[in-house]
C-alpha cells in the first residue's frame, strides 16, 4: 500500500472525470452495438405472441398497429393481421391491474366478429406454481371460441363459465378481466370505424377531457 | 496465500452468501428456480471478475479520497454492459430477473471485493479472487434455487422429479426463501467448523 | 384513491423488505434493537424521498431528453452516493441533534438496494412526481414496519432457549420467514 496516491483537489477531479468519461464512452459503444438486437428481440417476442393468437397472416401487424382508448385507464394496442388483404383477426395487447401481484399483460386474438381465437400471456408477476398456470393449455383453451359478447367469461365462483385455476381465483379473475377489456375496446372501436380512424387523436383527447371533468 | 486457496476460499470458507452474508437481496429475490439463481450468479460473477480486474489495474492512478466513487462508476458500467447484453440475447431471463439486474451495482459483494481485495492486490490474484467469489455466489444461488424449486414444484432445472401437486407452494413464495436460507446457513456453519 | 392504493400496496401488500427482498442487509444488520432499527428507518426514509425526487427529475429532464436511458443505472447510483454525502454534510451543519441520531447509518445507505430499487421502480411504474414521492414515503414506512417488527421479535429471541446451531443468523432467517408469511396475508388486498 505504498503507492497510495495523495489526494489533491485537481487530481481528484481529473481522475473522476477520466473514469466517468471512459465509462460513458464504452457504454455508448455497447449501447449502439446492442440496440438492434434488443429491438429485434422485443419485436420478435411481440410477433411470436401475435402468431400464437390469430390465424396465419402475411402482413406485419406491428407496422399498422393502432391504439384504442380505454375508459379510466391506459389505452390498449391493436395489431390487425391480414392474410392477403383479408382481415383474419386482430391481436389486442391488453392488461389488467387486478392480478394477485398487480399487472398482467395478455395478447388476445379476436376474429373480426369478436370471437376469441386464442390468448397468450405476455407478462405477469403471479405466484410460481399457482397463478403461473394461467399459461397452461387447458386454462387458455377455455377461452378459445368464446365470444365475450354472448358468453359469460367470469369464473364459476362469479356465476361465469370459466374454471378458475385451483388456489388462484384472483389470477383467474384478473385474466378474464383483461380478456373482457380487450373485447370491449375492440367492439367499441369498431362500432364507428370511420370517425374513430380519422379522429383517433381527437377522440382520445376529448375522452380524456370528459373524464377529467367527470372526476 | 497460494492462488489455489485464494480461489477456493470463496466457495465455502468465505462464501459470500452463507458466511459473509453479503448480497442477500438478489439471493432471496431471484431464487424461485435453480435456473434463475444460476443466471443471476453468472451475471454477478462477470461483474465481479471484470470490476476486480479493472480496479486493480487503475488503483495506482486513483486518489485515495475518490476511490469509492470511482469504483462505483466502474462497477455500474459493467452492470450496464450485462443489462444491455442480456436484454439483447437472453430477453426471457432478463425479464424474470427484472429489477435485480441493475441492483447488482449495490450488491455489497462486488464493492466489498473491489475495496477489500482488488484495490490492494495485483491483477492476477484479483481476477482469481473475483472468480472464486463469483462462483461461490453462483453456487449458493443455484443451490437455494434448486431446493426451493424442488420443494415447491417438484422440479429441478425444470426437470420433473415428483408430481407438482405435492409441491409445497410456501417454498416458492417469499417465506420459503428466508426459511431455506436460514437452514442452509446452519448447515454451512457446521461444515466450516468441522 | 390512487394515492391510497399506492400507500397500501407499498406498505403491506408489496412490502419492500419482506415481499420484494430489497434492503435485506440493514434488515438483518441493524435489527438487534428497536432503537437502532428506528434510527435506520429515519435515515432511509429521508434519503429515499430525496433520492426519488432527484432521480425522477434527472430522468425526465436529462436521460429522456437525450435518449440515453441506458445510462440510468450509473447515473442513479452516482446521484444516490453523492446525495448521501451531501445529506451527511448538511445535517452536520444544520441539525447536529438529527445528525447524532442518523449519522452512523448514513454511510451504509449508499449500498442499500431499497433506495436504488425505489428510484428505478418509480420510473418503471411510470408514476408522476407526486405519486413517486408518495410511493417513496410509503416504501420507507413499509421498510420501517418490517424492520421494527423484526427487531422486536429478535429482542425477544435473545431471551429464548434456541438450539445451539440455530443461534444468531439461522434463527433470524426462520423468524423473518414466519414474518413474511404473516405479510402474505395482505396479498390480493388491493
Each residue's pLDDT tens digit, C8-30: 888 988 889 998 889 888 888 78
Mutation site for B-interface testing, chosen from A15, A35, A45, A131 by largest number of B Cβ within 10 Å: A15
Mutation site for B-interface testing, chosen from C110, C111, C179 by largest number of B Cβ within 10 Å: C111
Q: How far apart are CA B17 and CA B25, in angstroms?
A: 10
Residues from chain B contacting residue A6 (CB–CB below 8 Å): 63-64
The percentage of chain B sitting over the pLDDT mark of 70, rounded to a whole number, equals 99
Q: How far apart are CA A46 and CA A37, in angstroms?
A: 14
C9 touching A, CB under 8 A? yes
Q: Is the pLDDT of residue C145 over 80?
A: yes
**Element at C34 (helix H, strand E):** helix C34-58
| Cell output for A166 | 385451483
Mutation site for A-interface testing, chosen from C188, C189, C190 by largest number of A Cβ within 10 Å: C188
State phi, psi for C16 to the nearest 5 degrees.
-60, -35
Each residue's pLDDT tens digit, C162-175: 888 888 889 999 99
Say yes or no for a CB contact (<8 Å) between C176 and B178: yes
B66 touching A, CB under 8 A? yes
B70 touching A, CB under 8 A? yes
Q: Which long-range contacts (CB under 8 A, 24 or more apart) does B10-13 make?
A: B10/B129, B10/B132, B10/B133, B10/B134, B10/B135, B10/B136, B10/B137, B11/B132, B11/B135, B11/B136, B11/B139, B12/B136, B12/B188, B12/B191, B12/B192, B13/B192
Task: Decide: B18 and B140 in contact? Cβ < 8 Å.
Answer: yes
**Element at A171 (helix H, strand E):** helix A169-191
B38 touching C, CB under 8 A? no
Each residue's pLDDT tens digit, A154-176: 888 888 888 888 878 888 998 99
Q: How many separate domains does chain B show?
A: 1
Task: Decide: B125 and B52 in contact? Cβ < 8 Å.
Answer: no
Is A145 strand, coil or helix?
coil
Each residue's pLDDT tens digit, A10-24: 888 888 888 888 888
Say yes or no for a CB contact (<8 Å) between A170 and C188: yes
Say yes or no for a CB contact (<8 Å) between B80 and A30: yes
- pLDDT, residue A129, reads 67
Q: Is the pLDDT of residue B91 over 80?
A: yes
Lowest mean pLDDT among A118-132, A176-190, B39-53, C158-172: A118-132
Is C178 or C25 the better-scoring residue by pLDDT?
C178
Residues from chain C contacting residue B80 (CB–CB below 8 Å): 70-71, 73-74
Q: Is the pLDDT of residue A88 over 90?
A: no
Q: How far apart are CA C47 and CA C140, in angstroms?
A: 10
Smallest CA–CA separation between C77 and chain A, in Å? 13
Q: How far apart are CA B86 and CA A72, in angstroms?
A: 35
Each residue's pLDDT tens digit, A164-207: 888 788 889 989 988 888 888 888 887 654 444 444 444 444 44
Domain that holds residue B102: 3-193
Q: Is the pLDDT of residue C96 over 90?
A: no
Q: Give the CA angle between residues A13, A19, A25 to the nearest 5°.
A: 125
- Provide the angle, in degrees to the nearest 10, between the axes of the packed helices B34-58 and B67-89: 140
pLDDT band of residue A215 (cuts 50, 70, 90) is: very low
Say yes or no for a CB contact (<8 Å) between C70 and A27: yes
Of A41, A123, A129, the CB nearest to B169: A129
Say yes or no for a CB contact (<8 Å) between C14 and A23: no
Each residue's pLDDT tens digit, A105-114: 889 988 888 8
- pLDDT, residue C160, reads 85
- pLDDT, residue A128, reads 67
**How many separate helices (H) and strands (E) can be counted in chain A?**
5, 5
A2 touching B, CB under 8 A? no
B120 touching A, CB under 8 A? yes
Q: How far apart are CA C168 and CA C166, in angstroms?
A: 6
pLDDT band of residue C190 (cuts 50, 70, 90) is: low
pLDDT band of residue C1 (cuts 50, 70, 90) is: low
- pLDDT, residue B132, reads 92
A64 touching B, CB under 8 A? no
Which parts of chain B fold into alpha helices (H)?
3-8, 24-29, 34-58, 67-89, 91-97, 108-113, 123-153, 174-193
Global pTM exceeds 0.90 = no
Q: Is the pLDDT of residue C59 over 80?
A: yes
**Section C130-151 average pLDDT:** 93
- Counting as contact any 3 or more CB pairs under 8 A, the partners of C are A, B
**Section A142-156 average pLDDT:** 84
Say yes or no for a CB contact (<8 Å) between C184 and B186: no
C66 touching A, CB under 8 A? no
Q: What residues does A82 pair with on adjacent strands?
A: A87
Query: Beta-carbon neighbour count of residue A174 at 10 Å?
Result: 27
Q: Is the pLDDT of residue B69 over 50?
A: yes
Residues from chain C contacting residue A24 (CB–CB below 8 Å): 71, 74
pLDDT band of residue B1 (cuts 50, 70, 90) is: low
- pLDDT, residue A2, reads 41
Lowest mean pLDDT among A170-179, B4-13, B32-41, B131-140: B4-13
B186 touching C, CB under 8 A? yes
Mutation site for C-interface testing, chosen from A100, A101, A129 by largest number of C Cβ within 10 Å: A101
Residue of A nearest to C126 (CA): A74
Of C22, C177, C183, the CB nearest to B179: C177
Q: Please, what sign has the CA dihedral across residues C114, C119, C125, C128?
A: positive
Output b/e per residue, B181-193; b: 16+ Cβ within 10 A. Answer: bbbbbbebbeeee
The percentage of chain C sitting over the pLDDT mark of 90, rounded to a whole number, equals 32
Q: How far apart are CA A133 and CA A147, in angstroms?
A: 23
Give which of C1, C30, C9 is closest to C137, Cα–Cα: C9
Say yes or no for a CB contact (<8 Å) between C74 and A101: no
Lowest mean pLDDT among B137-141, B163-167, C51-55: B163-167
Give which of C35, C32, C54, C37 is closest to C115, Cα–Cα: C54
Mutation site for C-interface testing, chosen from A27, A34, A73, A171 by largest number of C Cβ within 10 Å: A27
Q: Is the pLDDT of residue B62 over 50?
A: yes
Of B63, B74, B80, the CB nearest to A11: B63
Q: How far apart are CA A55 and CA A91, in angstroms?
A: 10
C30 touching B, CB under 8 A? no
Burial of residue B37 (CB within 10 Å: 0-12, 13-18, 19+) is: buried
Say yes or no for a CB contact (<8 Å) between B76 and C73: yes
pLDDT band of residue A136 (cuts 50, 70, 90) is: confident
ipTM of the complex: 0.86
From the centroid of its chain, how far is CA B180?
Answer: 17
Amino acid at each position: 500500500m505504498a503507492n497510495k496516491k495523495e489526494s489533491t483537489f485537481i487530481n481528484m477531479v481529473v481522475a473522476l472525470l477520466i473514469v466517468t468519461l471512459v465509462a460513458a464512452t464504452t457504454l455508448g459503444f455497447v449501447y449502439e452495438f446492442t440496440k438492434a438486437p434488443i429491438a429485434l428481440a422485443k419485436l420478435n417476442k411481440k410477433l411470436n405472441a401475435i402468431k400464437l393468437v390469430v390465424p396465419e397472416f402475411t402482413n406485419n401487424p406491428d407496422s399498422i398497429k393502432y391504439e384504442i382508448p380505454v375508459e379510466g385507464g391506459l389505452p390498449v394496442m391493436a395489431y390487425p393481421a391480414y392474410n392477403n388483404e383479408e382481415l383474419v383477426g386482430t391481436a389486442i395487447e391488453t392488461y389488467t391491474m387486478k392480478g394477485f401481484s398487480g399487472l398482467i399483460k395478455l395478447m388476445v386474438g379476436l376474429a373480426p366478429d369478436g370471437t376469441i381465437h386464442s390468448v397468450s400471456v405476455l407478462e405477469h408477476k403471479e405466484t410460481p406454481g399457482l397463478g403461473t398456470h394461467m399459461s397452461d393449455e387447458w386454462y387458455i383453451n377455455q377461452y378459445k371460441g368464446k365470444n365475450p359478447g354472448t358468453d359469460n367469461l367470469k369464473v364459476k365462483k362469479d356465476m361465469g363459465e370459466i374454471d378458475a385455476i385451483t388456489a388462484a381465483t384472483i389470477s383467474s379473475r384478473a385474466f378474464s378481466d383483461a380478456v373482457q377489456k380487450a373485447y370491449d375496446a375492440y367492439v367499441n372501436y369498431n362500432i364507428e370505424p370511420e370517425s374513430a380512424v380519422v379522429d383517433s387523436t381527437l377522440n382520445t383527447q376529448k375522452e380524456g377531457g370528459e373524464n377529467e371533468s367527470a372526476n | 496465500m497460494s492462488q489455489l486457496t485464494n480461489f477456493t476460499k470463496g466457495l465455502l470458507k468465505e462464501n459470500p452468501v452463507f458466511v459473509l452474508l453479503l448480497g442477500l437481496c438478489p439471493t432471496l429475490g431471484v431464487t424461485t428456480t435453480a435456473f434463475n439463481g444460476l443466471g443471476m450468479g453468472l451475471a454477478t460473477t462477470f461483474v465481479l471478475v471484470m470490476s476486480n480486474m479493472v480496479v486493480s489495474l487503475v488503483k495506482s492512478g486513483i486518489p485515495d479520497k475518490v476511490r469509492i466513487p470511482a469504483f462505483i462508476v466502474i462497477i455500474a458500467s459493467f452492470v450496464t454492459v450485462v443489462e444491455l447484453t442480456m436484454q439483447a440475447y437472453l430477453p426471457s431471463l432478463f425479464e424474470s430477473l427484472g429489477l435485480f439486474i441493475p441492483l447488482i451495482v449495490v450488491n455489497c459483494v462486488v464493492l466489498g471485493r473491489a475495496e477489500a481485495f482488488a484495490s490492494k492486490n495485483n491483477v492476477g490474484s484479483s481476477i482469481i479472487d473475483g472468480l472464486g467469489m463469483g462462483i461461490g455466489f453462483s453456487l449458493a444461488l443455484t443451490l437455494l434455487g434448486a431446493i426451493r424449486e424442488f420443494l415447491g414444484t417438484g422440479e429441478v432445472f425444470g426437470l420433473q422429479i415428483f408430481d407438482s401437486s405435492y409441491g409445497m407452494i410456501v417454498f416458492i413464495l417469499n417465506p420459503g426463501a428466508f426459511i431455506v436460507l436460514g437452514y442452509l446457513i446452519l448447515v454451512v456453519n457446521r461444515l466450516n467448523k468441522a | 384513491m390512487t394515492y391510497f392504493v399506492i400507500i397500501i400496496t407499498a406498505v403491506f401488500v408489496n412490502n419492500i423488505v419482506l415481499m420484494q427482498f430489497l434492503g435485506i442487509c440493514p434488515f438483518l444488520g441493524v435489527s438487534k434493537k428497536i432503537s437502532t432499527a428506528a434510527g435506520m428507518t429515519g435515515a432511509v426514509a429521508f434519503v429515499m424521498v430525496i433520492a426519488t425526487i432527484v432521480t425522477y427529475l434527472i430522468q425526465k429532464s436529462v436521460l429522456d431528453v437525450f435518449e440515453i436511458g441506458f445510462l440510468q443505472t450509473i447515473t442513479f447510483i452516482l446521484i444516490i452516493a453523492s446525495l448521501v454525502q451531501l445529506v451527511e454534510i448538511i445535517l452536520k451543519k444544520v441539525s447536529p441533534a438529527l445528525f447524532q441520531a442518523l449519522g452512523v447509518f448514513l454511510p451504509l445507505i449508499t449500498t442499500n438496494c431499497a433506495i436504488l430499487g425505489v428510484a428505478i421502480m418509480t420510473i418503471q411504474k411510470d408514476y408522476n412526481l407526486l405519486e413517486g414521492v408518495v410511493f417513496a414515503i410509503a416504501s420507507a414506512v413499509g421498510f420501517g414496519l418490517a424492520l421494527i417488527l423484526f427487531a422486536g421479535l429478535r429482542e425477544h429471541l435473545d431471551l429464548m432457549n434456541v438450539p445451539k446451531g440455530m443461534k444468531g443468523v439461522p434463527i433470524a432467517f426462520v423468524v423473518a420467514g414466519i414474518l413474511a408469511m404473516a405479510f402474505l396475508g395482505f396479498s390480493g388486498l388491493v
